[in-house]
Amino acid sequence: MGRARYIPRQTAEVMPDPFASAEEAWLWYSRCQVARLEGVRCAGGLGLAERPCDPDDIVRAVMGLVRRGILAVAHLSVLGRFGARLAVPDPAAGDSQIDSRLWTEALDRLETVLRGKGIVA
């Protein structure tokens, strides 16, 4: 069987609203995960903006980068920790410079992939 490919789902006549950045896409994914863990069932077309992907498409892109060795376990740790907080690393609030650097590196690498798929504008 061939490799699965990303094909955006078009709903009615509403054009999808791509994310402005990979950071925005990751935090959206993280909010969706928090909602899932709280038992919320997700259905398309109910949000304020139609998104060009499912939340799982974001994590698939991240895991693809991990499989190719572009993201390390340290990057995943920082993405997961700050995603669960629904906040970005802030050295002024006591977060380390290393966390901030890893966050920036991970999102920079993710943005390239998401931009290629039309998820990020």
Q: Is the pTM of this model over 0.75?
A: yes
Helix and strand counts by DSSP (H, E) for the chain: 4, 0
User: How do residues 94-110 score in pLDDT, each as one tens digit?
Assistant: 889 999 999 999 999 99
Is residue 28 classed exposed, middle or buried when 0-12, 13-18 and 19+ CB atoms within 10 A define those classes? Answer: middle
pLDDT at 89 over 60: yes
Mean pLDDT of 23-45: 85
Distance CA 118, CA 105 (A): 20
pLDDT at 49 over 70: no
**Residue 36 Cα to chain centre, angstroms:** 15
Residue 79 C-beta-side C-alpha neighbours within 13 Å: 28
pLDDT at 26 over 70: yes
Please check whether residue 75 is in contact with residue 104, taking contact to mean a CB–CB distance below 8 angstroms: no
Counting every residue written for the chain, the total comes to 121
Mean pLDDT of 17-27: 95
pLDDT at 9 over 90: no
